[in-house]
Amino acid sequence: MAFTKYVELIESYLQYSLQHTNMPVSLIEPFTYIMAPGGKRIRPVLCLLAAEAVGGKPEQAVTAGAAVEILHNFTLVHDDIMDRSPIRRGNPTVHTKWDDSTAILTGDVMMAFAYRMLISSIPAQHLHSVLQSFTKGFVEVCEGQALDIEFHKRDTVSVAEYLEMIEKKTARLLELSVVIGATLGGGTDAHIELLRAFALNIGIAFQIQDDVLDLTANTHELGKTIGQDIVEGKKTILIIRATERATKPEHKELLQQFWQNNGLPVDKVPTVRTMMEELGVLTEARAMAQHYFTNAAQDIQQLPPSNARDLLFQVIEMLNVRKK
């Protein structure tokens, strides 16, 4: 596969780093468990591709890419605790396999580990910029999660507020991946800004697509329970637009129950899906995601031609047709 080289660089570095640590078994086991190979490693691959796309070498961004992947997985560990999610990637979540205390501590040490990797390995001339980007992204991911939680307490959420939330919670990690990678690759300010816009667009598209898949995929493909967003009361683009569009009494009643109870029983998920189809919300959301993917392609079209740029186009195509 086109991305094998980049994934292998990340996997080798992560494996080496985790094997050469003196953490207690109670920490290293869940840390290694959540970081196990098998995922797409989109964020670190983007970090390496960004370095190469601006004229550098992917090897220059391996440590940073690994740190970003650890940051990403840290957010999953803590999100799963907050959401009480039992499954992640088809396997028990860390707090389910162990317990809440272990999951919280594992997430904490993952972040400290990521920072230590950056501080010990990033060249001095780039260290301040990289740490600044990494920290800004870390803070905004937490802000995005906070907004997501705040939405649970509200009886209205606008599309603009939803987009702000997913920009921070989902797109920001992709953005910091390419910004750090391009910085380490010696990119110009103009090229870094193009990559930043590209990542922002695919991040927003990715989350909108994820909202759709939560309701339309199957459990085996998605690796988690279908309709989980509905059960948990997530204020996704689907719920927001359905609320704006609903005119039938049965649709209004169903949505009123969702907003009042912060979610619906799992047996209501098929009914919600049917309602979304009738209202055209799923079609609209897919078109919205496509719009952002198109914008992302236009951003990187302005980068100098290279193999890395071609692979960035392939990232868009891969995400655009994903089923999980």
Contacts 24+ apart (CB under 8 A), 246-254: 246/275, 246/279, 251/275, 251/278, 251/279
What pLDDT, on the 0 to 100 scale, is given for residue 113? 97
The residues with which 88 forms a beta bridge, in sequence order, are: 91
CB 26 within 8 A of CB 102: yes
What's phi and psi for 85, nearest 5 deg? -80, 130
What pLDDT, on the 0 to 100 scale, is given for residue 305? 97
pLDDT above 70 (res 261): yes
- Please state, in angstroms and rounded to a whole number, the distance separating the CA atoms of residues 238 and 234: 10
What pLDDT, on the 0 to 100 scale, is given for residue 57? 97
What pLDDT, on the 0 to 100 scale, is given for residue 37? 83
- Please state, in angstroms and rounded to a whole number, the distance separating the CA atoms of residues 46 and 176: 10
Give a three-class secondary structure readout of 116-129: HHHHHHCCHHHHHH
pLDDT classification of 87: cutoffs 50, 70, 90: confident
pLDDT above 70 (res 223): no
Q: What is the mean pLDDT of residues 30-59?
A: 94
What pLDDT, on the 0 to 100 scale, is given for residue 324? 59
What pLDDT, on the 0 to 100 scale, is given for residue 323? 63
pLDDT above 90 (res 178): yes
What pLDDT, on the 0 to 100 scale, is given for residue 212? 96
Express each pLDDT in 143-164 by its tens digit.
999 999 999 889 899 999 999 9
Our count of domains for the chain comes to 1
What pLDDT, on the 0 to 100 scale, is given for residue 173? 96
Q: Which residues contact 291 (CB under 8 A, 6 or more apart)?
A: 205
Tracing tokens 């236009």 back to the chain, one arrives at 298
CB 46 within 8 A of CB 315: yes
Q: What residues make up the domain containing 152?
A: 4-320
* Tokens, residue 225: 């329970």
Express each pLDDT in 103-119 by its tens digit.
999 999 999 999 999 99
Q: What is the mean pLDDT of residues 76-82?
A: 93
Q: What is the mean pLDDT of residues 1-24?
A: 92
Express each pLDDT in 270-300 by its tens digit.
999 999 999 999 999 999 999 999 999 999 9
Express each pLDDT in 197-215 by its tens digit.
999 999 999 999 999 999 9
What pLDDT, on the 0 to 100 scale, is given for residue 40? 83
What pLDDT, on the 0 to 100 scale, is given for residue 32? 96
**For residue 17, what is the domain's CATH number?**
1.10.600.10
Give a three-class secondary structure readout of the chain: CCCHHHHHHHHHHHHHHHHCCCCCHHHHHHHHHHCCCCCCCHHHHHHHHHHHHCCCCHHHHHHHHHHHHHHHHHHHHHHHHHHCCCEECCEECHHHHCCHHHHHHHHHHHHHHHHHHHHHHCCHHHHHHHHHHHHHHHHHHHHHHHHHHHHCCCCCCCHHHHHHHHHHHHHHHHHHHHHHHHHHCCCCHHHHHHHHHHHHHHHHHHHHHHHHHHHHCCHHHHCCCCCHHHHHCCCCHHHHHHHHHCCCHHHHHHHHHHHHHCCCCHHHHHHHHHHHHHHCHHHHHHHHHHHHHHHHHHHHHCCCCCHHHHHHHHHHHHHHCCCC
